[in-house]
Amino acid sequence: MLMLALADTPFSKCDRSNQPNNCRTNFIRGVWEFSESARTAERTEVCDPKVGFKVANKFKVTLLYPNIATDEFGHNGTWTLVYNQGFEVIIHNRKYYSFSDYTQKGNVVTSICNRTTRQGPGGWSHDALGHNWACYSGQRLTGPHAVKTHTIDDVEAFSAGVFTQNPDVVDKINAVQSSWTAKHYPQFEGKSLKYMHHMHGGPNSRIFNYPSPAPVTPEVQAQADALPESFDWRNVSGVSYVTSVKDQGGCGSCYAFGSLGMIEGRLKLLSNNTESIDLSEQDVVSCSLYNQGCAGGFPYLTAGKYAQDYGVTLEANNPYKGSDSKCTTKAGAERIYTASYKYVGGYYGGCNEELMRISLVNDGPLAISFRYGMFDDFVSYGSGIYTPTEVKHDNGKYNPFVEVNHSVLIVGYGKDAKTGKKYWIVKNSWGASWGDHGYFQIERGVNSKGVESIAVEAIPIPY
């Protein structure tokens, strides 16, 4: 097992950054110039773009559709957009990651997608084994550039209001469809709208444009056709490879629960169910600069970047508080790493239902994200196959279309014997009293709420 002390992470030395930028793939493609400091540091390196660094290397990289990277020396590699936050390039046995840049005035954000962040934290690079770290920055030299502005939600306004569940709304949801049953949840009644916003994903996890699922190739379809019609990691020959349902509370930490749930489940699978561990979501919330704490985050940057670069640790080393506390993970705490990670399909926009089923059955549960309105009917799910309605919870003057991005864990799939409707089986992080003992089913094969757009898979190193 690899060991890593808290003092060995830069995350204990600098503040995380809010990342409200919104960059699409077409604004990243083109020729970039990368600048690097000397490749002599370890993961202790603190890269602050406001301070800058001494440039030791400069070279050009061309990023092509859909995920091809080439450098000026003839080396080939890959790249991917990382949600709308930034991008990662893997070339010549090195990885480069940075957030994209932006400016913000009040609630108006201007995304500057043709350069890496100048806000902080900065960009890092390291070799394929996680050594020889360096700070890096990038400037795009060619490619389309347009000024993109958007307005972010006024999160302070949520502090004043409270969430209510009108019984008539629940009844109306049940009246307009028969696929699933809605119910009232007393535990949410009277919670602040800020609490509910964070519970649904948090203000900083919003993705403005989900990619459409990729076309299914004949080869992928042939593999998918060979899979069982239904599958559930909670019951494989009487054995469950899924850890227990947890409750994130009013912290926008669903990305941590979905990501660590995937690693926990896949570790059980890799150990033939002889190892069952409880990983620390609070360590991710408090210690990872790749995400934004209780304000939100993303599975690719958690199960992927953070788990591979810095490792995740056990719950006992930093018990869950559900708040933006300082990083207090025990010094010298053991760390568990991921050997590899990617978007299902290999890059952002390469995912589809069939690839997800193949990965799920072969390698274990998948971390996914999906989007919906904060006051949509989903919060009232009780049982059945969730299909969205137009019914919304009435919460006074607040915009019922405030969109959220919620991360969860897919553990299986099936098909309803009566209706023939296909569905995913999904583990939520709102406690075992919500939904079907903490789980829900959502329609499969139609990309409902973007559920088949950006699944993430990671392969952990056995503990």
Cis amide prior to 20 (ω within 30 degrees): no
Read off the pLDDT of each residue in 142-169 and give the average, rounded to a whole number.
81
Over pLDDT 70: what percentage of the chain? Answer: 93
- CATH code of the domain occupying 180-461: 3.90.70.10
Statement: residue 166 has pLDDT above 80? yes
SS (H, E, C) 245-306: CCECCCCCCHHHHHHHHHHHHHHHHHCCCCCCCCECHHHHHHHCCCCCHHHCCCHHHHHHHH
Strands 134-142 and 123-127: antiparallel
Name the helix (H) or strand (E) containing 362. helix 353-363
Each residue's pLDDT tens digit, 376-425: 999 999 999 999 999 999 775 555 557 899 999 999 999 999 999 999 99
Q: What pLDDT is stored for residue 399 in this prediction?
A: 55
pLDDT tens, position by position, 210-249: 999 999 999 999 999 999 999 999 999 999 999 999 999 9
Determine the length of the chain: 463
Q: Over the stretch 246-283, which tens digit does the pLDDT of each residue have?
A: 999 999 999 999 999 999 999 999 999 998 999 999 99
Kindly provide the b/e burial profile for residues 283-304, where b requires at least 16 CB atoms within 10 angstroms of the residue's own CB: bbbbbbbbbbbbbbbbbbbbbb
Question: Residue 109's closest CA among 238, 22, 12, 31?
Answer: 22
Average pLDDT estimate for 117-124 = 87
Residue type, 87: F
Query: What pLDDT was estimated at residue 5?
Result: 31
Prior bond of 121 cis (ω within 30°):
yes
pTM exceeds 0.75: yes
- Sketch the domain layout of the chain as residue ranges: 25-151, 180-461
pLDDT at 46 over 80: yes
Predicted local confidence at residue 18, as pLDDT = 60
Mean pLDDT of 150-160: 75
- Percent above pLDDT 90 for the chain: 79
pLDDT of amino acid 96? 98
25-151 CATH fold: Lipocalin (2.40.128)
Mean pLDDT of 57-72: 97
The set of catalytic residues is 254, 406, 428
Residues 317, 333: contact at Cβ < 8 Å? yes
